[in-house]
Structure 1
Amino acid sequence: MSSEVVVEGMENNGDHGNTKQKHHVEQVSDDPFAFTGKKLSWQKLQRNDSLDMESRGFYKSSLACRGRSMSVIMQLAFQSIGIVYGDIGTSPLYVYASSFVDGIKNNDDILGVLSLILYTITLIPLVKYVFIVLKANDNGDGGTFALYSLICRYAKVGLTPNQQLEDTEVSNYKLEVPENNRIKMASRLKSKLEKSSFAKIFLLLVTMLGTSMVIGDGVLTPCISVLSAVRGIKEADSSITENGVVGISIAILICLFMVQRFGTDKVGYSFAPIICVWFAFIGGIGLFNFIKYDPTVAKAINPKYIVDYFRRNKKDAWISLGGVVLAITGTEALFADVGHFTVRSIQISMCSVTYPALVLAYTGQASFLRKNNDLVSDTFYKSIPHPLYWPMFIVAVMASIIASQAMISGTFSIIQQSLSLGCFPRVKIVHTSAKYEGQVYIPEINFILMIACVAVTAGFKSTTKIGNAYGMAVVFVMTLTSALVVLIMIMIWKTQILLVISYVLIIGSVELIYLSSVLYKFREGGYLPLAFAAVLMSIMCIWHGVYRRKYYYELDHKISPEKLKGITSGKNLARMHGLAIFYSELVEGIPPIFEHYVRNIPAMHSVVVFVSMKSLPISKVAAEERFVFRQVEHEELSVFRCVARYGYTDVQNEEEAFEDLLVKRLKEFIIGGGFLASERVNSGEFEGVEKEVEAIEKAVRGGVVHLIGESEVVAIEGASMRKRILINYAYNFLKKNLRQSDKLFDIPHKRMVKVGMTYEL
């Protein structure tokens, strides 16, 4: 049985005073008990930060940077082949069929489409992503949130007011910003972003849209990859119907999602040999077909054939771009998965294996089609030499499963990032690997993805329609990434304006042309990713909107040190032995829910630690830099504040129990920088510090209780209809049907007390 106490009530709107005080701190020896009597200068060590209004002292440690040897980079390059390139590597299964939906009308059209494919995979995956976008990684991590986090760290564009001075002390927080004569333009843009509420909201919406589209990729990649691979079985047995192919595909998809809970760490790095075999097959067969059928297709390197293709086909050529763009599906995953590897390792694997194999594959298929125009609807399997059919079929199915696995895992990681930044409702994050970083599993999302994949496969049945939807998601994400990268170029990299303009004119123009083409196919399946995005963005906007309102409410009603002193000095308040850990989302100050708790239960533990879980706009926070402690000004209270800082890829359920880690760090704080510790060290008096440590240990022995602030929210009386629907119905519906805080932090139920309170927003 879980012993939970729930205290509920209504908070009246009121104002709490805030006080701002300045305090100083001195450094002590790295050895906790190696105190010295030497007096240090208070002036030199003067320090002010956002927690000074309630506290004194701080705990900080450094993080050493580690480089990677060339042998490690080469190993990572090999491993990346299995994780990063499954999606783009399986594109030859369906690109020509999706480009020539109505058949080949002119033999030279093949040269035009081949030329388009070659220049597209050169310009977008190779030039844009591998050599430009990968450099916009956030301490090694990539994806839409990585770009947003870089912008948030450089400019104050976050909508939640939790930026604090001490966050810049985290070793990987600061950006290496070049100093050059373009700093004026960067400063001007930064200033405009920080002053514009519209710009802040727009940036967040762009990030949410990009994230939603990548999640849409997680639905569509398994559908089109598995369906295209399985379709090849009709070559061996023509009696198998279209419904039979769809049924087999759905069975594979269900099995794929059912094994997700076991994690991918045990099999993830076995993917590389399979994908290497796949690239060897498609590259080798492509070279064979190129020599056998029509080597003259090499002239497609001349962009003149693109111009001729558009002159002949006009609107039809423009529409066919929606099929050509499928040649670069999975490119965003290349950026999103850089955190598992390194920029250099992905550059090596792309240039040495993936790009050459894809060029040979598409060139070989074009040579085959020049002699077999009527087989375009099933180009891939028809172009395979007969003795290699079964081996190629087996490898194709395996490669499609791997491509699907990579996108599903990527979807889990993206949801985790959204959750950590307050942009997604609470869901359970399961860390499936102690060895490999970033391997997470989310049960609720896995089930929803499985249902969506089965529904799309059974409903569309055709790879052409799924391809239309897939192309929409792919191009939308790429366009949004380009927009964020341009901001980073100007503000952070301070790139020459001519290079920025060149990027926009070349890369941006190409992507906008492709976007216009896929939008034309909106009714033919293109609406699907936009529908996914609309649902996901609605959920994100509802959750984040109320989350911010609630945060501002707590910020406006936080308890000042003076009020805390008054609350705890009441005659009826009993002090009992033990350590109370009080969880809240408020980063700056003591939350109003504590006053509500004491008013209803007039008892207070001998030691109280207010813990705030804070997400920083960086990918990871080192364990030794996780906690920031302060002691509330009135030392006789034994009340501490703690901010537990996490990056958006960190998992909060760590190997070491959170409770044990917090107590250990708290004692280190008291020894190394607690309240008046410096004065005691300088005077040679150790007793005071030792007594404080002993008091903590005694409190732990007396029992640790976890107090969770579970605030309910309702719209204030007289609020507009829109506000009432947003808060009372939409937000509370999401909250009631998802995980609670105790399940997210693995808090022991037998030592947990829930404190309920209602905020009127």
Structure 2
Amino acid sequence: MDKLPTYGKPRLCGGVFYRCIPDSLYWPAFIVATAAAIVASQATISATFSLIKQAVALGCFPRVKVVQTSKNYLNQTYIPEVNWILMVLCIVVTAGFKNQNQIGNASGTAVVIVMLLTTLLMIIVMILVWRCHWILVVIFTVLSLVVEGTYFSAVILKVNQGGWVPLVIAAAFFIIMYAWHYGTLKRYEFEIHSKVSFAWMLRLGPSLGLVRVPGIGLVYTELTSGLPHIFSHFITNLPAIHSVVIFVCVKNIPVYTVPEGERFIVKRIGPKNLYMFRIVARYGYKDLQKKDDDFEKKLFDSLFRFVRLESLMEGCSDSDEYSSCDQQTDANEQSGSGLSNSINVDCTNSSVVSSVLVNSTIQEISNVVSFDQESIQNEFGELEFLKNCKDAGVVHIMGKTTVKARRDSNFFKKIAIDCIYAFLRKICRDRSVIFNVPQESLLNVGQVCYI
């Protein structure tokens, strides 16, 4: 039997599919198949970018650089590090196998496992979210698992013939995500347990002889109540704080997106003459986590609006505004809601009310709130003081917490914390880059956390 002519056909792109195509249709089919492969690869790459971006927002993956590729569409993003990883994996798999059947087995195993996991997640959604009748759930489960179980039983036999590749890659990413989430969670628990109260600083201040220096200090922390350990460590070793101290807390909350007008929540800490504030910046899991050139400007704009609104509201208490809210948010943090859950600000004092309304217009508030000449003078006096301190200089104080496993920890914990998590912390994107903090204005406060 004569063989089909192979003149003019790319040998590397052959196979059963191309050998079955007549010569007159070979090149059109080759062009269509190549274009389909390009489209499929682009869809895979885009889906990977989206999943990694959401995993970073949920605290399950190290921080990476996210580039917005479109001004009109939010979801069109590009992650250089992930793109390079995908390229290296594609080259390694293609060059390592040199066999189309094994590459096909690897692809088939990945597709079937994704189908099976999607069906299992769909069953959970039907039960917990949609609350479908149990008969409908059973029918869907049986019909889906009969088909997908057949495919799964077939790919199980191909695991040793290339199907092990997606399993190994999935296991590697699972270890990375688990180690990062575990280390981040333990570091956050350490910060909660080692934080100090505001009353502690007031009692300790006279004995330390704290000095207020010109300027504004932005202390970055993950806590929504109390004073972070890095701040107490800083003032006990260097008893001097800025004229204005702002505790900045960046939170990823489990919502799709946070409107720009509701991004910041501002609250005053302690009496007015201390000029200490707490600002919580909230981001949804779909909000773009990229280099924000205007973060500092937006933060101060929210602070100035808060001061204006607070001066317009009647019955503002100064000295005890911080107590009830700190206790309430402290309870939320102790319950484990600090990493990704929403911030509870349902307090009765007027400071928090004005913090929720911080982005409302001054004219709307002034129409319903009565104020006198003294409040106007206080408003402009405090605003002028804040602006003078801002002009004197802004210092960004960030904690550099080194997480280490205790000596009595087991072998796997030491590997996860001292090796994997430490390496990921070293190569991940620093928050100072995300918030565009000038290096000459950055002050790192180091501490060691044993877990």
Give the TM-score taking structure 2 as reference length.
Answer: 0.80
| Whole-angstrom distance in 1 between the partners of 2:267 and 2:302 | 12
Q: Cα gap change, 1:506/1:498 in structure 2, threshold over 3 Å: closer, same or farther? A: same
| Structure 2 gaps, min length 5 | 317-368
Q: Secondary structure at the match of 2:223?
A: coil
Q: Given residue 506 of structure 1, which amino acid in structure 2 is its aligned partner? A: L
For 2:113, the equivalent position in structure 1 comes to 476
Q: Cα gap change, 1:727/1:567 in structure 2, threshold over 3 Å: closer, same or farther? A: farther
| Whole-angstrom distance in 2 between the partners of 1:722 and 1:581 | 37
Could you say what the CA RMSD is over the residues aligned between the two structures, in angstroms? 2.5
List per-residue Cα deviations over 1:699-747 (Å, max 9, x = no partner).
2212121111111112234333433333222211222233322223322
| Whole-angstrom distance in 1 between the partners of 2:95 and 2:415 | 35
For 1:580, the equivalent position in structure 2 comes to 217
Q: Secondary structure at the match of 2:64?
A: coil
List per-residue Cα deviations over 1:490-541 (Å, max 9, x = no partner).
2222222222222211123322332222122110111000000111111111
* 1:687 counterpart = 2:385: no
Pick the structure with more strand per residue.
Answer: 2
> Do the aligned partners of 1:468 and 1:518 also contact (CA within 8 Å) in 2?
yes
Query: Between Structure 1 and Structure 2, how many residues are aligned?
Result: 393
* 1:379 counterpart = 2:17: yes
For 2:8, the equivalent position in structure 1 comes to 237
For 1:270, the equivalent position in structure 2 comes to none
Q: What are the residue-to-residue correspondences of 1:384-463 with 2, within 5 Å?
A: 386=24, 388-463=25-100
> Do the aligned partners of 2:403 and 2:449 also contact (CA within 8 Å) in 1?
yes
How much does 1:682 deviate?
Answer: 4.2
Q: Cα gap change, 1:564/1:498 in structure 2, threshold over 3 Å: closer, same or farther? A: farther
* 1:547 counterpart = 2:184: yes
How much does 1:433 deviate?
Answer: 2.7
Q: What are the residue-to-residue correspondences of 1:453-602 with 2, within 5 Å?
A: 453-602=90-239
For 2:289, the equivalent position in structure 1 comes to 652
* 1:728 counterpart = 2:415: no
Q: Cα gap change, 1:433/1:750 in structure 2, threshold over 3 Å: closer, same or farther? A: farther
Pick the structure with more helix per residue.
Answer: 1
Q: What are the residue-to-residue correspondences of 1:134-149 with 2, within 5 Å?
A: none
| Whole-angstrom distance in 2 between the partners of 1:235 and 1:632 | 79
Q: Given residue 103 of structure 2, which amino acid in structure 1 is its aligned partner? A: I
List per-residue Cα deviations over 1:242-274 (Å, max 9, x = no partner).
4xx59xxxxxxxxxxxxxxxxxxxxxxxxxxxx
For 1:699, the equivalent position in structure 2 comes to 389
- % same residue: 39
How much does 1:571 deviate?
Answer: 4.8
Q: Which of these residues, 742, 752, 757, is aligned with residue 432 of structure 2?
A: 742
How much does 1:385 deviate?
Answer: 7.5
Q: Cα gap change, 1:381/1:573 in structure 2, threshold over 3 Å: closer, same or farther? A: farther
| Whole-angstrom distance in 1 between the partners of 2:386 and 2:403 | 35
| Whole-angstrom distance in 2 between the partners of 1:566 and 1:478 | 61
| Whole-angstrom distance in 1 between the partners of 2:422 and 2:219 | 23
> Do the aligned partners of 1:635 and 1:675 also contact (CA within 8 Å) in 2?
no
For 1:668, the equivalent position in structure 2 comes to 305
List per-residue Cα deviations over 1:282-323 (Å, max 9, x = no partner).
xxxxxxxxxxxxxxxxxxxxxxxxxxxxxxxxxxxxxxxxxx
List per-residue Cα deviations over 1:159-189 (Å, max 9, x = no partner).
xxxxxxxxxxxxxxxxxxxxxxxxxxxxxxx
> Do the aligned partners of 1:653 and 1:746 also contact (CA within 8 Å) in 2?
no
> Do the aligned partners of 1:707 and 1:755 also contact (CA within 8 Å) in 2?
yes
| Whole-angstrom distance in 2 between the partners of 1:633 and 1:499 | 57
List per-residue Cα deviations over 1:96-154 (Å, max 9, x = no partner).
xxxxxxxxxxxxxxxxxxxxxxxxxxxxxxxxxxxxxxxxxxxxxxxxxxxxxxxxxxx
Q: Secondary structure at the match of 1:686?
A: helix
How much does 1:396 deviate?
Answer: 2.9
| Whole-angstrom distance in 1 between the partners of 2:280 and 2:212 | 24
Q: Secondary structure at the match of 1:595?
A: helix
How much does 1:750 deviate?
Answer: 2.0
| Whole-angstrom distance in 2 between the partners of 1:472 and 1:531 | 12
List per-residue Cα deviations over 1:396-453 (Å, max 9, x = no partner).
3233222212211221221111111111123222223333212222222222211110
Q: Secondary structure at the match of 1:618?
A: coil
How much does 1:656 deviate?
Answer: 5.4
How much does 1:633 deviate?
Answer: 2.9
List per-residue Cα deviations over 1:363-414 (Å, max 9, x = no partner).
xxxxxxxxxxxxxx5336734682x543443343233222212211221221
Q: What are the residue-to-residue correspondences of 1:704-719 with 2, within 5 Å?
A: 704-719=394-409
| Whole-angstrom distance in 2 between the partners of 1:488 and 1:632 | 42
Q: Given residue 118 of structure 2, which amino acid in structure 1 is its aligned partner? A: T
Q: Secondary structure at the match of 1:679?
A: coil
Q: What are the residue-to-residue correspondences of 1:97-496 with 2, within 5 Å?
A: 237-238=8-9, 240-242=10-12, 245=13, 378-379=16-17, 382-383=20-21, 386=24, 388-496=25-133
> Do the aligned partners of 1:652 and 1:745 also contact (CA within 8 Å) in 2?
no
Between 566-575 and 478-487, the greater mean CA deviation after superposition: 566-575
How much does 1:464 deviate?
Answer: 2.3
Q: Given residue 416 of structure 2, which amino acid in structure 1 is its aligned partner? A: L
| Whole-angstrom distance in 1 between the partners of 2:152 and 2:390 | 60
Q: Secondary structure at the match of 2:8?
A: coil
Q: Secondary structure at the match of 1:555?
A: helix
Q: Given residue 432 of structure 2, which amino acid in structure 1 is its aligned partner? A: D
List per-residue Cα deviations over 1:36-94 (Å, max 9, x = no partner).
xxxxxxxxxxxxxxxxxxxxxxxxxxxxxxxxxxxxxxxxxxxxxxxxxxxxxxxxxxx
| Whole-angstrom distance in 1 between the partners of 2:376 and 2:103 | 71
| Whole-angstrom distance in 1 between the partners of 2:292 and 2:87 | 30
> Do the aligned partners of 2:311 and 2:376 also contact (CA within 8 Å) in 1?
no
How much does 1:671 deviate?
Answer: 2.5
| Whole-angstrom distance in 1 between the partners of 2:382 and 2:115 | 55
Q: Given residue 485 of structure 1, which amino acid in structure 2 is its aligned partner? A: M
For 1:624, the equivalent position in structure 2 comes to 261
For 2:326, the equivalent position in structure 1 comes to none
Q: Secondary structure at the match of 1:709?
A: strand
| Whole-angstrom distance in 2 between the partners of 1:597 and 1:401 | 54
For 2:330, the equivalent position in structure 1 comes to none
Q: Cα gap change, 1:608/1:478 in structure 2, threshold over 3 Å: closer, same or farther? A: farther
Q: Cα gap change, 1:588/1:484 in structure 2, threshold over 3 Å: closer, same or farther? A: farther
Q: Cα gap change, 1:542/1:398 in structure 2, threshold over 3 Å: closer, same or farther? A: same
| Whole-angstrom distance in 2 between the partners of 1:675 and 1:509 | 67
